[in-house]
Each structure stands twice: as structure tokens, then as C-alpha cells.
């Protein structure tokens, strides 16, 4: 059930982003204090067809390494390849 919802939402966002000409990416890495899991995320930011600034989470994955610039760069390159 979750997989079907994910696929449906993925297709909706994919169609929405297909018409966007320019966007910027931000990355973030953090450790969740309640579980000590490290998370890496990429968010895309763009102006939608109505002129409204919008954002979409493009990546959210567990990090198993330290949050160094090299590691974050590697995670980013792997995610957008």
C-alpha cells in the first residue's frame, strides 16, 4: 500500500516538475536525536506556474558516514546522477 502511494505521488511530482525550467538544490545532513540515525536530504526549490515559490524533497536517505564535505559531496553526486 505504501509503495503504491509512493509511486502515485512520485508520478504527480514528476509531471509537475517536467514544466519547470529552473530550480535550485539545497542539501542538509543531520542526526535525529531520538534515534541517533543520520539523515541526508536534498530539496529542490522552484517557482511554479502560478509564480509561487515551491519546494519538493528529492532525496532522504540514511547516512552511514561522518558529515564531512567530501561525504556530503559524494552523497549529492550519487543522488543526482
Counting residues of the chain whose pLDDT is more than 70, the rounded percentage is 99
C-alpha cell at 66: 561522518
Please give the torsion angle defined by the CA atoms of residues 13, 79, 5 and 12, in that order, rounded to the nearest 10 degrees: 10
Contact in structure between 41 and 57 (CB atoms under 8 Å): yes
| This model's pTM is above 0.75 | yes
C-alpha cell at 8: 502515485
In this predicted structure, the answer to whether residue 64 has a pLDDT above a threshold of 90 is: no
> What three-state secondary structure class fits 3?
helix
Cα end-to-end distance, the chain, whole Å: 28
Counting residues of the chain whose pLDDT is more than 90, the rounded percentage is 23
Amino acid at each position: 500500500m505504501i509503495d503504491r502511494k509512493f509511486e502515485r505521488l512520485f508520478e504527480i511530482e514528476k509531471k509537475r516538475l517536467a514544466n519547470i525550467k529552473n530550480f535550485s538544490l539545497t542539501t542538509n545532513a543531520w542526526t535525529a536525536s531520538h534515534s541517533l540515525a543520520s539523515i541526508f536530504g536534498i530539496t529542490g526549490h522552484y517557482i511554479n506556474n502560478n509564480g509561487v515559490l515551491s519546494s519538493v524533497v528529492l532525496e532522504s536517505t540514511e547516512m552511514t558516514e561522518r558529515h564531512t564535505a567530501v561525504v556530503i559531496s559524494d552523497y549529492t553526486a550519487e543522488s543526482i546522477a
